[in-house]
Amino acid sequence: MNIAKHVKEFQSVAQKNDVKIVAVSKTKPPEDIMQAYQAGQTIFGENKAQELVSKYESLPREITWHMIGHLQRNKVKYIVPFVDLIQSVDSLRLLKEVNKQAAKIDRKVNVLLQIHIAEEESKFGFSQEEVLELLNSQEIRNFKNITIKGLMGMATFTDDTHQVRKEFRSLKSFFEQIRSGFDLENVSMEELSMGMSGDYQIAIEEGSTMIRVGSSIFGSRNY
Ligand SMILES: *Cc1c(COP(=O)(O)O)cnc(C)c1O
């Protein structure tokens, strides 16, 4: 796998389309991350709290780290001191915990709300109704130590590109609805994180601002 070459290719995708690239380095060793970093990649995504912490501790401080996987509440405190963006906030209880842990260290943490857009039952995330309920609640106004920067979604894992496009389009439309419909101090709808190695082209066409690319940069993963 020529990691540096792939990073360069995605840099040109980023420039052409004005999107950010998150290099998803889960399961990959620090040496692979260093190759990508030396080729100019600065944002990396991990899906496990422990792995995120240990990579953060052993790699250059210039790297910015995104949490992109399901996060258990008891792990929040380990990543809150340094994480740049938690993309996978999928419940009100988790959001509360992030706010609480961030308050303890007087930090403001950026999060995305993960929205369930796929047909599969297994994917985590808020429904659109739950997000509207949250944004209309009094409670959200008390979360002084978080900023909701946008939304994240994962499309159904399928070859049916029409289905994938439909799901991305619906997420984009919900994103715009929230962006224009709410004026809250800790909500700043800037990022729409959608698209992975297999579907990022469709996601970009449908309005993604941030794609999360793992295997197309680092090669396939062996679990
Ligand atoms: C693993 C993962 C990715 C990257 O997947 P690839 O298909 O390897 O690009 C993106 N987003 C999330 C949430 C992931 O868990």
Atom of ligand 1 nearest to the CA of 197: 9
46 Cα to the center of ligand 1, angstroms:
9
pLDDT at 120: 77
pLDDT of res. 219:
95
Cβ–Cβ < 8 Å for 11, 36: no
For 87, phi then psi, to 5°, come to -85, -15
Distance 220 CA to ligand 1 centre (A): 11
Q: How confident is the model at residue 21, as a pLDDT?
A: 98
| Cα–Cα nearest to 45, from 19, 18, 63, 72 | 63
Looking at ligand 1, which atom is closest to the CA of residue 87?
13
Per-residue pLDDT, 200: 98
* Pocket of ligand 1 contains residue 203 by CB under 6 Å: no
pTM above 0.95, yes or no: yes
**202 CB under 6 A from ligand 1?**
no
Residue nearest to atom 12 of ligand 1 (CA): 68
Closest CA to 152 of 123, 132, 181: 123
From 22, 32, 120, 196, give the residue whose CB has the most ligand 1 atoms within 8 Å, as the site to mutate.
196
Q: pLDDT tens digits, the chain, 223 residues: what are they? A: 699 999 999 999 999 999 999 999 999 999 999 999 999 999 999 999 999 999 999 999 999 999 999 999 999 999 999 999 999 999 999 999 999 999 999 999 999 999 999 887 766 899 999 999 999 999 999 999 999 999 999 999 999 999 999 999 999 999 999 999 999 999 999 999 999 999 999 999 999 999 999 999 999 987 6
Q: H or E segment at 151? A: strand 146-153
Atom 7, ligand 1: residue with shortest CA distance: 197
First to last CA, the chain: 17
Q: How far apart are the CA of 144 and the centre of ligand 1, in A?
A: 30
Helix (H) or strand (E) holding 66: strand 64-67
Q: According to the model, what pLDDT value does residue 123 have?
A: 64
Adjacent-strand bridge partners of 64: 43
pLDDT of residue 1: 67
Give residue 223's pLDDT.
66
